[in-house]
Structure 1
């Protein structure tokens, strides 16, 4: 009998009662990152503060659901169902589909450039599509989260969130706000975001990746709510202040077209694309 099977007969002594079983199982999945893609069962339990019987039960259930798989005895990685879900998202996400349709119309401002399409998920910005090549690997490609307060890609989204969201983010993230170059006080932070919102496009250099310059514009759903951004990343040497306003206007037009196509595809999922 293997250890997971043996765990079925262990008495339940879980002292961790925070959240539902589903929430705690999701915390198990959250342990698997690019830096730590493989975990032992005992290490998972130690990292989360779960009892041995609880972590063995969760791992067994996740493995049975193909959300985890055993790469070798006692060591686990993310499973096949997640790979299948990622493929489904690539094929069905209306924003990804819209971006793929519009790729031929993306401006070629530099031989070295990469376009990023990012979505806002609550208060997290995640890259969902990437197109082009840059002289070096950018710090996040598809599936990688971006800091909400740094970089043109995220600031284009942040500037268009509601005043109520801005206030809560300021209260919840004082250190990140201070490091964002958006102001040290609430009033400075609020005015910086208003200025970015009026300008509509956002530019930044070296805030995420050294030597990388980004130009971004927000994306909106059919109700005018910001849902993401499109950005073009280039070597910082390619930044040309004389042409930045013109390119900013171009990316705003592209963002508007992308938003409209995304809404159309969301309302008509079977529309060819």
Structure 2
């Protein structure tokens, strides 16, 4: 029994160490693409020995590239993985098939396919002819509480996860008009579930509205969402139900690749 407990504890330590090491990759941004080991240690309160060990292991794996003495940028393996995802991710592959079809909705439009990423959502594919610049683009994490794209995922998460999110993010939830208390928050999410779609108007980007539906796995678990974003000038409440059916058809197609 003692040996089994020791094995479990060792696994937990290794997992914790891996998570601490991978956090380093989140530091690299467009604003700061190069980090020194000393800055990494300061950011995460690592000892110098830990910081140097982590960066060496990440560099050996190709996840970091040494640009100078003790300075690093993201490594080439990430580029390789991005290509693999573009070619092999079922959501991306099936989204490309949808992209090749004639648009069934009116007006200039942008289509977004996003999946859950920690307590955010991240766009994995987008296409369309909308000329307006959007906050959502491939690889950029976006808030879970704002916009139809995110709310179509949020509403279908398990109840226990809803409770944790409410406790940890009360101000963000209130700012997104999802409720000032647990009862209202649950009611608003239940309405999205009952309707089968989420709608937001000028919520993320002021000049557009978004219509989104969930992409569910075969066992009914939330996997992602697909949304269509258009100019608020093209919004017509009388057409929403018919447009939702188009999105649901695409969601079923995307879901078929998640078996």
TM over 0.5: yes
Stretches of structure 1 that go unaligned for 5 or more consecutive residues are 1-16, 267-273
- Deviations 1:237-262, CA, capped at 9 Å, x for gaps: 221222222212221222123212x1
- 1:210 alignment partner in structure 2: 206
Structure 2 residue 234 is the aligned partner of structure 1 residue 238: yes
Are the counterparts in 1 of residues 113 and 124 from structure 2 also a CA contact under 8 Å?
yes
Q: State the shift of 1:27 in Å.
A: 1.6
Alignment of 1:104-183 (within 5 A): 104-105=100-101, 107-183=103-179
Cα distance in 2 for partners of 1:24, 1:123 equals 18
Structure 2 residue 72 is the aligned partner of structure 1 residue 63: no
SS of the aligned residue for 1:154 comes to helix
Q: State the shift of 1:84 in Å.
A: 0.7
TM-score by length of 2: 0.87
Cα distance in 2 for partners of 1:258, 1:21 equals 35
Stretches of structure 2 that go unaligned for 5 or more consecutive residues are 1-12
Q: State the shift of 1:110 in Å.
A: 4.6
Are the counterparts in 1 of residues 115 and 223 from structure 2 also a CA contact under 8 Å?
yes
Cα distance in 1 for partners of 2:74, 2:134 equals 24
Tell me how large the CA RMSD over aligned residues is: 2.1
* 1:226 aligns with one of 217, 222, 226: 222
Cα distance in 2 for partners of 1:35, 1:133 equals 28
Q: State the shift of 1:36 in Å.
A: 2.2
Are the counterparts in 2 of residues 201 and 251 from structure 1 also a CA contact under 8 Å?
no
Further displaced range: 19-28 or 209-218? 19-28
- Deviations 1:20-54, CA, capped at 9 Å, x for gaps: 33222112112112332221222112111122232
SS of the aligned residue for 1:81 comes to helix
- Deviations 1:213-272, CA, capped at 9 Å, x for gaps: 111110011111111100011222221222222212221222123212x13xx4xxxxxx
Q: Structure 1 111/77 Cα, relative in aligned 2: closer, same or farther at 3 Å?
A: farther
Q: State the shift of 1:72 in Å.
A: 3.9
Cα distance in 1 for partners of 2:123, 2:239 equals 26
Alignment of 1:96-107 (within 5 A): 96-105=92-101, 107=103
TM-score by length of 1: 0.83
Q: Which runs of 4+ in 1 moved over 4 A?
A: none
* 1:20 aligns with one of 16, 22, 31: 16
Q: State the shift of 1:116 in Å.
A: 0.6
Q: State the shift of 1:180 in Å.
A: 1.6
Are the counterparts in 1 of residues 117 and 141 from structure 2 also a CA contact under 8 Å?
no
Are the counterparts in 1 of residues 87 and 93 from structure 2 also a CA contact under 8 Å?
yes
**Matched length:** 247
